[in-house]
Structure 1
């Protein structure tokens, strides 16, 4: 099939949605399809239309459905769609969801977080990550990595604030890799780095540098206040890197209800306690390693491709039922 995939993230962007679009393009082309990634939709025909973002891609979704009523349409629900836009802009977001033949959610709890009338359309596609090319070397100290752009949704300085609560004897350092989305976030990160000897901000770095950071880290913190299913969790699981995560739906939907490494969202005191436990209890850290290693098989490219092709099949079948 000829597939158009629209994403608001432009070529060259390191935003997660661009990475998802490009990875899905490769997986679909490996399965024999042709994919055009676009950031603006100009009414071109195709055999299948995939829209990343229900809210941001709303105009394209509406135009496509009006012009091509017989062509299958998939809408991908991002974290901001589910946990922000559908509440602030319900008419727009839900219209995109209503027009879709298949909805894609990126974690296992999306069905609990969208209106029940849409859950029959939902297919879960867990984002994959490649296995690291290099084995982790000896680790010095006790570095904790935070990987993600500096913006409100990520609560990116929470681990740094937690590190302020640690005793003098702790060897923990928090290393943050991610681009500041605004000058204000850059100022906050630099000010925290100046004031907090346990915190270092690397800014935006490339993929090899991210892998090196993961390799030398003892654990990763993902402290987001909202997530649609963060790819960095997939990467950590594939690397065997323990994850300490905020207890939001998007993290629980990837790591499981009984994962032992959660802290209440926004609570740096509780996070500090978990960091200390990871540093001082080999048994606890070992349990986190065991859990992420067990989850790693769900985040392979093969598993993601199979789920993506299931979504394609469901979209085609759904459209066929409406247009016999």
Structure 2
């Protein structure tokens, strides 16, 4: 018996090397034994038949979502909500609003996100924590402290918070700040280049492969995640699954992954608080050990088997229901 055909629409393909692409690639692998997967950046009526469609990003995938809903109204349609969907576009963008109305189900990627949705669509939402492989926690010499940010340079990631913290810590040669990410906004790339020239303890490494990035996360003492807007950041779970503690902005997307009682938050844009955290982590290694222990308690949420089970339960239920309705 032929496997059902699942079309996975993502606005970002392999060349983007961002969170949307990592999600699409991983889901294709997790579901390969149960569905025939086709990954594309657009669906239209000329596309091969799909028994169900999963679209990442309510706004950017809106044309595909609308076309599929119109062409195949009895086939399941799932929309995966990103941070910009949840925390910007659903309040202001008609195409994103249309996408959540057309969807049979909505996938959100952290445990606080359901309550961040408009009340009228919350019943459609399913929380699916993303996953990654676990890596051995490495032993690290306490000096110097190595901090790492992973995120393409754009406003939503708040790179200037890290830039300013680096300036505040310029007199601390025992605190090194690395930064991985492509300059998606030219001005931010220019600022990073100037900062790297002026502050020797800050290094902008540009875009790296996923594997190279994971190795850097594994070797860092602490991952810094200063974003203003997140739907469930890959790098946070990759740090947790590598035994690397996290310092994160206190936003819904970070709290929904690390937990409300996690000890390593700072307010959005508060570079002074971030710099103080890094100074404390350098001076008091026990702080890093405590944060790592808290992260370890969250690590089972990000296991591949859990993510696969959540996805299969949702998709199989929808597919069975659509067959019954025919």
TM-score of the superposed pair, with normalisation by structure 2: 0.93
Give me the whole-angstrom Cα distance separating, in 2, the residues matched to 1:296 and 1:47.
Answer: 33
Once the 2 structures are TM-superposed, how far is the Cα of residue 282 of structure 1 from its aligned partner? 2.5
Q: Say whether the 8 Å CA contact 2:81–2:108 is kept in structure 1.
A: yes
Given the alignment of the two structures, is residue 220 of structure 1 paired with residue 184 of structure 2, yes or no?
Answer: no
Q: Say whether the 8 Å CA contact 2:218–2:243 is kept in structure 1.
A: no
Once the 2 structures are TM-superposed, how far is the Cα of residue 274 of structure 1 from its aligned partner? 1.3
- In structure 2, the partner of 1:48 is 52
CA displacement 1:153-184 (0-9 Å, x = unmatched): 10124223113323845611110011111322
- Alignment CA distance shift 1:169-1:199 (3 Å): closer
Give me the whole-angstrom Cα distance separating, in 1, the residues matched to 2:179 and 2:253.
Answer: 21
- Mapping of 1:174-185 within 5 angstroms? 174-185=177-188
Give me the whole-angstrom Cα distance separating, in 1, the residues matched to 2:107 and 2:317.
Answer: 11
Give me the whole-angstrom Cα distance separating, in 1, the residues matched to 2:122 and 2:323.
Answer: 19
Q: Say whether the 8 Å CA contact 1:160–1:174 is kept in structure 2.
A: no
CA displacement 1:44-75 (0-9 Å, x = unmatched): 32111101111111111111111111101100
RMSD: 1.8
Of 23, 26, 33, the residue aligned with 2:26 is: 23
Once the 2 structures are TM-superposed, how far is the Cα of residue 208 of structure 1 from its aligned partner? 3.1
Give me the whole-angstrom Cα distance separating, in 2, the residues matched to 1:314 and 1:122.
Answer: 14
Of 211, 214, 224, the residue aligned with 1:211 is: 214
SS in 1 for 2:153: coil
Given the alignment of the two structures, is residue 36 of structure 1 paired with residue 41 of structure 2, yes or no?
Answer: no
- In structure 2, the partner of 1:276 is 279
SS in 1 for 2:298: helix
Once the 2 structures are TM-superposed, how far is the Cα of residue 314 of structure 1 from its aligned partner? 4.5
Given the alignment of the two structures, is residue 78 of structure 1 paired with residue 82 of structure 2, yes or no?
Answer: yes
Give me the whole-angstrom Cα distance separating, in 2, the residues matched to 1:141 and 1:181.
Answer: 30
- Mapping of 1:255-270 within 5 angstroms? 255-270=258-273
- In structure 2, the partner of 1:67 is 71
Q: Say whether the 8 Å CA contact 1:192–1:199 is kept in structure 2.
A: yes
Once the 2 structures are TM-superposed, how far is the Cα of residue 215 of structure 1 from its aligned partner? 2.9
- In structure 1, the partner of 2:131 is 128
Give me the whole-angstrom Cα distance separating, in 2, the residues matched to 1:320 and 1:234.
Answer: 36
Give me the whole-angstrom Cα distance separating, in 2, the residues matched to 1:156 and 1:169.
Answer: 20
Aligned length: 320
Give me the whole-angstrom Cα distance separating, in 2, the residues matched to 1:218 and 1:256.
Answer: 20
Once the 2 structures are TM-superposed, how far is the Cα of residue 197 of structure 1 from its aligned partner? 2.4
Q: Say whether the 8 Å CA contact 1:58–1:93 is kept in structure 2.
A: yes
Once the 2 structures are TM-superposed, how far is the Cα of residue 296 of structure 1 from its aligned partner? 1.0
Once the 2 structures are TM-superposed, how far is the Cα of residue 311 of structure 1 from its aligned partner? 2.4
Give me the whole-angstrom Cα distance separating, in 1, the residues matched to 2:191 and 2:59.
Answer: 29
Q: Say whether the 8 Å CA contact 2:140–2:219 is kept in structure 1.
A: yes
Of 303, 312, 315, the residue aligned with 2:315 is: 312
Once the 2 structures are TM-superposed, how far is the Cα of residue 259 of structure 1 from its aligned partner? 0.5
TM-score of the superposed pair, with normalisation by structure 1: 0.93
Q: Say whether the 8 Å CA contact 1:50–1:73 is kept in structure 2.
A: yes
232-241 vs 179-188, which deviates more? 179-188
- In structure 1, the partner of 2:303 is 300
16-25 vs 155-164, which deviates more? 155-164
Given the alignment of the two structures, is residue 189 of structure 1 paired with residue 198 of structure 2, yes or no?
Answer: no
230-239 vs 211-220, which deviates more? 211-220
- In structure 1, the gaps of 5 or more residues are none
- Alignment CA distance shift 1:169-1:225 (3 Å): closer
Given the alignment of the two structures, is residue 238 of structure 1 paired with residue 276 of structure 2, yes or no?
Answer: no
- In structure 2, the gaps of 5 or more residues are none
